[in-house]
Structure 1
């Protein structure tokens, strides 16, 4: 395919096989921009723009910290940012107060420091400003890590990334690599490929890994600056429900040079953001409930029922030499979105056979069969199956066909007395937890025995998922 101008001067390139994904990106991004303007106008009429910005900003801080297992919960994040100390820091970006916070409460420091860095990053958006320079990046890090001896300074020691085989740049190459990245970021771009630009900037930065700590959080700020400069909302990756997919997408870009899974993930987060803007009152109400730590008995009931079933399914699969590894979890917010039919997915588990085959279980909105059987207040997410996709696709996995799993399409765990498991095979039938786990394990075993219909893979990306412990930095 013709060279994509936005990739000139970067470590990334796209072959002809990626042309379909680029066309899809352009089409979906056009819809996003149109819907974004309409949603903003509607939110302005209701006087909710400021409240929505506040809620999304706090969510961004909480999720980014949580990916690195840092900071307090969402309610704690809001509390410390809105505290007297937090507001004193933010009012004038007075980072001289942050070392004092660090000494007293490291979790509060993580929230206030990242929010301060996020506010600083917003100053790099607007007007004719393009990209970032090295001093901008170091300033973001200096604010995020204020009080640490390495704040705002490039790494002085060679480093390793927990859970990854990628070896970051040696220290002497960091200034040159960062100069190349920043020079590239300041160049002209195609507006219909803005998400590709943000994904490249983020992946490239995390690949260089220029700082001692905080690379992931700074990298996500960089991506959101690039998106904001192109008139798009931030990409907020959810720690509980999207972390595995995010880390795996970075592994794709590091190990195989394939940037498209990260592009696809960022695009999904932006589409979700616009969807939330289109229903501002509902989103604001849910955000306030989460901050207030209000639980949901039905959510807890479903989560416990699904956990019990997955444990039973894991035991049944072990009898066939198959291993089930749990991945991302549902949050109350995503649970509510899925029940309402919002288009998003959560990678729930990975099944492997020790012979290079992988099968992903993911939660999605209730299927037609589930909607026909239960009322809105009883519906729960459906669990579907996916196999590794071809290279250069926005989605790293494709949904299975019925032939892949002996007629099996999906299933869902319905909280009840007792809990029931509904399996959509050649017909939809209800089973007990024990019988449902046994039946599913047998059908999954047959799929592995036939080796599904897997595409050729250039590296074993899914095998990376069970090793996820750390993050990008």
Structure 2
């Protein structure tokens, strides 16, 4: 006989309260009524929504089984895994915004400190004490930690409805002594890099009340799958942009309240591999009213968390390795070689009037690298290639995944392939494989061993510089022939929406 603890029993009961096995496309359309989001009246869109619902059902069922197995067979590891997810969630949520310490180890150290414990102890009196009188990066961690503790209180009370004052309280905790902490904006603001213009200060309170009333009805009547509800609330709050700062972190907290109240593991949007997908998905929800790409991002993170639940010892080992930051691990050697080769590729692309853009923080993390070595298909997007002057509306994204046809050459290293921006109405992803001349590239840990390139009809191994020049030439031909052109079907199908691809600003 299996005896479940109170928290496990509550979590599993919430899964059954929130979840159904017979969601239909019509249910989603009805559940979204009153929100800015809807499903287009197109047959192919309905098919995509049904595929999305099937994925949601599979993941929800998998989460229930994984949680039960964790309790049954691996007593004690569940608490450790929750700690890992908590540290990672806070670290990555800050890093998406360019905040907090750069290393996961530093976030872990801050959250293990007396200051973090003091915040938890004082939370009931909502007193942020001397713990927050420290450097800004430490404050970023401690303040988000406090906001997350508030979110947990809301999430764990199955009879408690999420209301507007909760949102402002989380923002207050998140922003500390910032001049508008816990208050809606008093000046018009904008979203960096986006064309969407948020609500004015005078319209913000009514817009937020509309959002919270809508979600309250959805939650009370269980009108939507939790993942869809979380995507709607996150996208809607980001669309309103009610606060002067901290909107993204509050939106992610709210999404995790919804996900967690259904007994699902936390949504952790990682800078390395997830941020491009996540920001593009938000752009589509802003301008096209389409939640599927954002829900797709959420489903990706849930699959990752469920894999951790199924193999917690492995997940804990990878976390501890990242905390220790081993100096000369396979990951560090490969990453150094890969980044060096991308520099060579960038120089070669410049000769063809193309630029490569990557962010070291968006490069694959130790965790992602370890998963790929286990042949888990992560689909990590780590940068892009383009030129707004010479090829407007075109961009090729860089994708890292386990080796495909090049598996016989790989010792576990990821391979590089290329995507194009290709959203479809209510499709889960905003990318499609680029049908270019280069299909797959393998950069080894030791760059002196050369680079393996797979084309449609042959595979070759070249020295690093020669490989960069060859790949740049082939990519330039792909751009010239229009193979990197964005396929923005949402904008084409819904011209009245004013939708524009976020890549236009490249």
Q: Using structure 1 for the length normalisation, give the TM-score.
A: 0.91
Cα deviation, 1:62-91, whole Å, max 9, x if unaligned, reads 111111122223222222222122102112
Bigger drift between 158-167 and 455-464 goes to 455-464
Name the counterpart of 1:116. 146
Residue 271 of structure 2, aligned match among 234, 239, 260:
239
Cα deviation, 1:118-141, whole Å, max 9, x if unaligned, reads 121112224544752101111111
Cα deviation, 1:306-348, whole Å, max 9, x if unaligned, reads 1121122122222222222225311111111111111212212
Name the counterpart of 1:18. 45
**Contact residue 444 and residue 451 of structure 2 kept, 8 A:** yes
Residue 269 (str. 1) matches residue 292 (str. 2): no
Name the counterpart of 2:424. 391
Shift of 1:193: 2.9
Shift of 1:456: 4.8
**Contact residue 29 and residue 192 of structure 1 kept, 8 A:** no
Q: Using structure 2 for the length normalisation, give the TM-score.
A: 0.85
Name the counterpart of 1:259. 291
Cα deviation, 1:14-48, whole Å, max 9, x if unaligned, reads 10243222212221122212221222222222121
Looking at structure 1, the residues matched to 505 and 452 of structure 2 have their Cα atoms a distance apart, in angstroms, of: 28
Cα deviation, 1:437-468, whole Å, max 9, x if unaligned, reads 122122222222221286354254241675xx
Name the counterpart of 2:4. none
Matches within 5 A, 1:72-151: 72=101, 73-93=103-123, 98=128, 100-126=130-156, 128-129=158-159, 132-151=162-181
Matches within 5 A, 1:5-404: 5-15=30-40, 16=42, 17-44=44-71, 45-47=73-75, 48-72=77-101, 73-93=103-123, 98=128, 100-126=130-156, 128-129=158-159, 132-188=162-218, 193-327=225-359, 328-353=362-387, 354-370=391-407, 372-374=408-410, 378-392=411-425, 393-400=427-434, 404=435
Residue 448 (str. 1) matches residue 479 (str. 2): yes
Task: Give secondary structure in 1 for the equivalent of 2:199.
Answer: coil
**Contact residue 305 and residue 419 of structure 1 kept, 8 A:** no
Bigger drift between 408-417 and 301-310 goes to 408-417
1:146–1:416 CA distance, 2 compared to 1 (3 A): closer
Task: Give secondary structure in 1 for the equivalent of 2:448.
Answer: coil
Bigger drift between 109-118 and 239-248 goes to 239-248
Shift of 1:258: 2.4
1:8–1:417 CA distance, 2 compared to 1 (3 A): closer
1:184–1:257 CA distance, 2 compared to 1 (3 A): same
Task: Give secondary structure in 2 for the equivalent of 1:98.
Answer: coil
Shift of 1:221: 0.3
Looking at structure 1, the residues matched to 382 and 234 of structure 2 have their Cα atoms a distance apart, in angstroms, of: 25
In structure 2, stretches of 5+ residues that fail to align are 1-24, 492-498
Q: Work out the number of aligned pairs and report it.
A: 458
1:424–1:86 CA distance, 2 compared to 1 (3 A): same
Shift of 1:6: 2.1
Task: Give secondary structure in 2 for the equivalent of 1:206.
Answer: helix
**Contact residue 161 and residue 216 of structure 2 kept, 8 A:** yes
